[in-house]
Structure 1
């Protein structure tokens, strides 16, 4: 799929804002393409894809250990269950936080059937991202960027 960015109203990726509810609200108000908030590759890769037919949702859930030996399920990413033959879908782009070609590809393959594109975050200056070799830290490592993008282009359908 080729995405057309020309003269479009696009919801940009924003931390703690690009959740499903806000993306749907943006679409309701005319957005022609929407981005998720940044989702870290390693966390996304550990999720389990769950389809909730009743609610019409796809949820990527991670089960994390808590004190006392219990576990907490957390939805890392959710989207509307889409029919592949329906052409009226507003394109959904997942923004991936990554600093590693292998982890980027594993995470992207995991969600590729539920998104229309993968965007590698190379702009975030937050300490967490930069310290992990992600976000704006990638701007100083063109060889790593090339390796990540090459892996994604070659490894995704």
Structure 2
């Protein structure tokens, strides 16, 4: 199976990886986008949930195509797309993946979610402990042998007295199970604090040196210069960016957009893709655009005057 362009990736983000925002990031340099993490049980048992997310996944392919100013209409930005799933049951994950695989270019297994509900449900980053490695291997192997599209995995640092070595070993397990690429957010899992210091880019570099499949680096990006520095240091095959991209969706092109203009552009896409992004999601995106620019301006003021 051929792989999508993994160079510049818009990360999966809860309630923020909607189709209008994915299109916005693709317009400004992202080569690949992810959906938010989807729950297999809901895809299989909640028809409203399935229909909502299918509508989101297929939105760009069904749009009006009124984007000639950006080169190639909808088709140029709808794909490639990765759908991210969570779960701890190989059969359920594969069944859910089959519901969406014809509308995307890969299925990613979330092995990094640090939130409390992931801890309670025993999925995401709470499958990184060595006792769960055989289960993870079974899930990824089932995905890679049962789906029409590549399978990948997004992970965090494995809990260990030597997390760098443990994470490299876990990466090898994923590779041998059939993962087509691995993304490492090089921080530890914590339900209370998603970030505990800077991401350990040395761990990404070690993982890249260990594996024969592509490795994507996630973390420590605030500017476009950070993206280049990150990839140069880690030698990763691509960079995945999350929260910084929420504030500046033009990051991969090195821009810093006017918050009003980028908000209007996003709202225009939402108007052309009705029923895809909720009102709360739209409001949150606009708030991120404005607050990010405010923080940049305040940083400049402090730099020059204090």
Please state which band the TM-score falls in when normalised by the shorter chain.
0.7 to 0.9
Gaps of 5+ in 1: 50-58, 62-74
Is the CA contact (8 Å cut-off) linking 1:130 and 1:137 kept in structure 2?
A: yes
Look at both structures and tell me which one has the larger radius of gyration over its CA atoms.
Answer: 2
Is it true that 1:107 corresponds to 2:96 in the alignment?
A: yes
In 1, the alpha carbon distance for the partners of 2:60 and 2:100 equals 12
What secondary structure is seen at the aligned counterpart in 1 of 2:35?
strand
Which residue does the alignment assign to 2:125?
136
How big is the shift at 1:4? 4.6
What secondary structure is seen at the aligned counterpart in 1 of 2:108?
strand
Gaps of 5+ in 2: 63-74, 149-306
**TM-score (normalizing by structure 1):** 0.74
- Map Cα deviations across residues 99-144 of structure 1 (whole Å, 9 max, x no partner): 1101100000111100110110000110101211111111111011
Greater fraction helix? 2
Matches within 5 A, 1:58-97: 60-61=50-51, 75-77=52-54, 78-79=56-57, 80=59, 82=61, 88=76, 90-97=79-86
**TM-score (normalizing by structure 2):** 0.40
- Map Cα deviations across residues 57-102 of structure 1 (whole Å, 9 max, x no partner): xx932xxxxxxxxxxxxx134123649xxx8553100110111101
Q: CA RMSD in A?
A: 2.4
- Number of residue-to-residue matches in the alignment: 132
Greater fraction strand? 1
In 2, the alpha carbon distance for the partners of 1:3 and 1:46 equals 30
Which residue does the alignment assign to 1:3?
3
Q: Return structure 1 stretches of 4+ with deviation > 6 angstroms.
A: none
